[in-house]
Amino acid sequence: MPEFPERIKLERGELRLVISSEKIAERVEALGGMISEAHPAGDLTVIGVLKGGVNFMADLIRTITVPMNIDFVRLARYGDETESSREVRITKDIEIDIRGRDVIVVDDIYDTGMTLRFLVDRLSTLGAKSVKVCVLINKKERRTESFEADYRGFEVGEGFVVGYGLDYKEGYRNLPGIYMLHED
Ligand code: IMP
Ligand code: MG
């Protein structure tokens, strides 16, 4: 694997490593173990949220030892990127039948909770037996929804993080670790 620096200079700021790829790998394996144990019957469907959930999803499913299938969704917020733009819409839907299946939604970060709340409701109406949420990063500060993710990798406080799927203006998704954005 190529080496990535712990600090990455930006035009007006810096990215600083906060969770290494080794720590992520360890935690992902633990989460995969918990998921496998909770689903011995193997009626499991793992749904990745594009694009941010892709890195986590790819690593996580390789640590799940029970039979399972996968699919992807892509979601977008209506209107601008402000916090008041509350409408979520699906721009790419699932393509497999999830009726009677235990579904786990995999995403990069749980922030306000709005996006995943919407998705969980929708997957339930499609007839899933159960719908759970698995996120790599749990960010509590801006939570507006009352429900929590079922499987959580790491807790992060205030601040904006990138890497391992998470982007800043579509960049940095390829970084193997999680970095905090520090602006000058
Ligand atoms: P929410 O939980 O509905 O507010 O939306 C979560 C989405 O917001 C994530 O899937 C990310 O796309 C984005 N997001 C929230 N916080 C961050 C962050 O710190 N870095 C990168 N993206 C973030
Ligand atoms: Mg996202």
Which CATH number is 69's domain given? 3.40.50.2020
Structure tokens at 75: 């979601």
Atom 12 of ligand 1 has which residue's CA nearest to it?
52
pLDDT confidence of residue 89:
92
What is the per-residue pLDDT across 86-129, written as a single tens digit (0 to 9) for each?
689 999 999 999 999 999 999 999 988 888 999 999 999 999 99
pLDDT confidence of residue 142:
77
pLDDT confidence of residue 80:
58
Q: Residue 44: which domain range?
A: 21-156
The answer to whether position 133 is within a domain reads yes
pLDDT confidence of residue 83:
58
Compute CA 142 distance to the chain's CA centroid, rounded to the nearest angstrom.
16
pLDDT confidence of residue 113:
87
- Evaluate whether 46 touches 61 at the Cβ level (below 8 Å): yes
The answer to whether position 93 is within a domain reads yes
Q: What is the sign of the dihedral through the CA atoms of 128, 164, 89 and 143?
A: positive
- In the predicted model, residues of the chain with pLDDT beneath 70 are 79-86
Longest dimension (CA), the chain: 52
pLDDT confidence of residue 42:
85
**The one-letter amino acid at 178:** I
Determine if ligand 1 sits within 6 Å of the CB of residue 52: yes
Taking the centre of ligand 2 as the mean of its atom positions, its distance from the CA of residue 81, in whole angstroms, is 12
| Total domains in the fold of the chain | 1
The answer to whether position 53 is within a domain reads yes
Q: Which ligand neighbours the alpha carbon of 168 most closely?
A: 1
Taking the centre of ligand 1 as the mean of its atom positions, its distance from the CA of residue 138, in whole angstroms, is 10
The answer to whether position 57 is within a domain reads yes
